[in-house]
A and B are shown apart, each in its own frame.
Chain A
């Protein structure tokens, strides 16, 4: 295997590794625009030029393979000069509207100019005018003046989504990126274009102007939109609370994970998190009398729920429905607490998968983030737990129900079940948002959304992945874990630790599938419950 030296540091890499990748492994950042680890190498921007000993001309680091004995300099005077020259060319026609550009603050043209350029403009000619606000599709808008023609976006539609909507048209300084005539972006991954565009040419219509990126803080998380469990970063803004209409989370974006989502995420997940701060969030515990909610304090809510559930459990008249939208810890806590109470049939129900609503890239038909985990932890196969509960309710075998996080309205079977549930004597609903199921309940307990708590989901591959807390809970919402623990305490059952990491440790010590896993070993890339797999190439 080739051994090469970069800026005096030596590294051994596999054959076929490029200089840029080798440098990244050494922690040396070679400026680049067109190179993206998820796309084919184009070698068109020339930003990554480096000096190689014995080679008369500078070479591009993103395309040149490392060979044995190679000596590379990334900071020599020649290289610096080349970078300045490339930046100067890129800026010849650049509008420099940084103050109003949504990319400002995370723009690589700005960053590299500050690091390597810092030259005054020598251009006396007028700048070329191009289209400023070209709407390319539902989520993306293009500013052709800001484009540096790195072709990342074109390659993305060619290689990742294979939808071929974008191309580069005309020649020379008239070249522009655009959609093909009569076309528009209609793939379900277009949000990624705004992420991969190194400048502010492609911006996200939903995120645009909502805030400035320097107000944002980041938390690592997992998208709860489907059973793929794409790794994401939640960008939240608590320093300027009134931004984005008072909402704290203006955007989420993908976080690379070679085993799960590579560098991408789908638009359904990216734009479908509005509910975490929706107007329909349940902000305090509610007691419903004839469908009219009345706010009650938590202490009373716990006392009522404890009394109702405890009584029904003693009489063996309790039906429980967990949800695969709960985290592993919550499902574990629920089954531990309820089983300790003597409830036999603690099962979960998953809203049926949407057949056909999946593809080879990321989107899965099962829209729940933790169906696998729910099956592993409850030990119940995914057979129709809801139907059994409805039957028991109709026959009178059950008169009190406890339902977590469901929106039964969404599925046909659920709608039918809801009619029966309304007739239950007591119906405790634990959830995040108001829906018809919550409205049918007699007691509603608000719990935190995934952005407001810690936990893990197990995706369809059996990969257990952590998510971190981003923002404080909304209203009086509490984590389901702490609610379950308080209920356990009210029944005299030794509660689990309130801390998700310790609850997970308990789960790992009790459940064979999770054995050996802990928050430390999971890290931010997760681990599979089965024998670990090699990173699979996702998509075509």
Chain B
């Protein structure tokens, strides 16, 4: 990895500080007034003018998420409700954050080698890389619950146990209707060009 070298020497103009502060204020102010003007023009029916920036009113207003988004994990179940996980610990091994801990045991059914008696994921450590999902040979661990607001008041509260993981359901797959998609400004990089350079 390239480590950035020492910073540029400030010019005399920058060193006297005040002009730079004023410049910063001017930039912020320009954003504010340009957006304000665009919104007002839109309200008055000037639809040709590009839309102003929008702030989502989370949590009242939820932005549609992609079904591929990696959200809180869950463990898939077999038809009889038992965990599909075979406690192979591949996910635990691959996890770069060391946040999965599994304890396996002998399964009464000789056709199933072992099963997890404990399966903890510490979301406080998880970096949501999805490696666990990739590694799982049984497709047992999935990150499709659609839950991404999982804050807790304690560190222990961030640990999901086997029972919790099994009880979570996949997020219903909602196809975003075309009109909403139009309303959704989309990711930043896709908007390049639609917003007039300031």
Does B86 have its Cβ within 8 Å of any Cβ on chain A?
yes
Question: B106's contact among A99, A208, A214, by CB below 8 Å, is which?
Answer: A208
Question: A132's contact among B87, B92, B105, B110, by CB below 8 Å, is which?
Answer: B110
**How far does the alpha carbon of A532 sit from the alpha carbon of B92 in the complex, in Å?**
49
Does A169 have its Cβ within 8 Å of any Cβ on chain B?
no
Question: Could you tell me if B103 and A243 are in contact, using CB atoms closer than 8 angstroms?
Answer: yes
Does B141 have its Cβ within 8 Å of any Cβ on chain A?
no
Least CB distance from B198 to A in Å reads 52
Q: Which residues of B contact A240 (CB under 8 A)?
A: 92, 101
Residue of B nearest to A245 (CB): B103
Interface residues of A in 96-148 (CB under 8 A from B): 97, 99-101, 131-133
Interface core residue of A101, A209, A245 (most chain B CB under 10 Å): A209
Does B70 have its Cβ within 8 Å of any Cβ on chain A?
no
CB within 8 Å for A100 and B86 given contacts A132-B110, A132-B111, A209-B114: yes
**How far does the alpha carbon of A243 sit from the alpha carbon of B101 in the complex, in Å?**
8
Interface core residue of A100, A133, A214, A242 (most chain B CB under 10 Å): A100
Question: A242's contact among B90, B101, B104, by CB below 8 Å, is which?
Answer: B101
Q: Which residues of B contact A133 (CB under 8 A)?
A: 106, 110, 113
Question: B113's contact among A100, A214, A243, by CB below 8 Å, is which?
Answer: A100
Question: Could you tell me if B88 and A100 are in contact, using CB atoms closer than 8 angstroms?
Answer: yes
Least CB distance from A238 to B in Å reads 13
Does B137 have its Cβ within 8 Å of any Cβ on chain A?
yes
**How far does the alpha carbon of A242 sit from the alpha carbon of B120 in the complex, in Å?**
11
**How far does the alpha carbon of A73 sit from the alpha carbon of B13 in the complex, in Å?**
77
Q: Which residues of A contact B114 (CB under 8 A)?
A: 100, 209
Residue of A nearest to B105 (CB): A209
**How far does the alpha carbon of A242 sit from the alpha carbon of B98 in the complex, in Å?**
12
Least CB distance from A26 to B in Å reads 35
Question: Could you tell me if B137 and A212 are in contact, using CB atoms closer than 8 angstroms?
Answer: no
Least CB distance from B177 to A in Å reads 42
Q: Which residues of B contact A99 (CB under 8 A)?
A: 86, 88, 90, 137-138
**How far does the alpha carbon of A107 sit from the alpha carbon of B101 in the complex, in Å?**
24
Interface core residue of A99, A131, A214, A240 (most chain B CB under 10 Å): A99
Least CB distance from B98 to A in Å reads 8
Per-residue 0/1 for B78-101: is the Cβ within 8 Å of any A Cβ (1 yes, 0 no)?
A: 000000001111101100000001
**How far does the alpha carbon of A100 sit from the alpha carbon of B86 in the complex, in Å?**
7
**How far does the alpha carbon of A27 sit from the alpha carbon of B48 in the complex, in Å?**
79
**How far does the alpha carbon of A167 sit from the alpha carbon of B71 in the complex, in Å?**
53
**How far does the alpha carbon of A219 sit from the alpha carbon of B23 in the complex, in Å?**
65
Question: Could you tell me if B106 and A209 are in contact, using CB atoms closer than 8 angstroms?
Answer: yes
**How far does the alpha carbon of A337 sit from the alpha carbon of B101 in the complex, in Å?**
48
Q: Which residues of B contact A100 (CB under 8 A)?
A: 86-88, 113-114
Per-residue 0/1 for A159-186: is the Cβ within 8 Å of any B Cβ (1 yes, 0 no)?
A: 0000000000000000000000000000
CB within 8 Å for A209 and B104 given contacts A100-B86, A100-B88: yes
Q: Which residues of B contact A245 (CB under 8 A)?
A: 103
**How far does the alpha carbon of A176 sit from the alpha carbon of B110 in the complex, in Å?**
18
Least CB distance from A369 to B in Å reads 33
Question: B89's contact among A97, A132, A208, A212, by CB below 8 Å, is which?
Answer: A212
Can you list the 5 inter-chain pairs with the closest CB atoms, starting with the nearest? A99-B88, A100-B113, A133-B110, A209-B104, A99-B137
Q: Given known contacts A209-B106, A212-B89, what 17 new A-B pairs fall within 8 Å (CB)? A: A99-B90, A99-B138, A100-B87, A100-B88, A100-B113, A100-B114, A131-B110, A132-B111, A133-B106, A133-B110, A133-B113, A209-B104, A214-B93, A242-B101, A242-B103, A243-B103, A245-B103
Interface residues of B (CB under 8 A from A): 86-90, 92-93, 101, 103-106, 110-111, 113-114, 137-138
Q: What are 6 A-B contacts with C-beta separation under 8 Å?
A: A99-B90, A100-B114, A133-B113, A209-B114, A212-B89, A214-B93
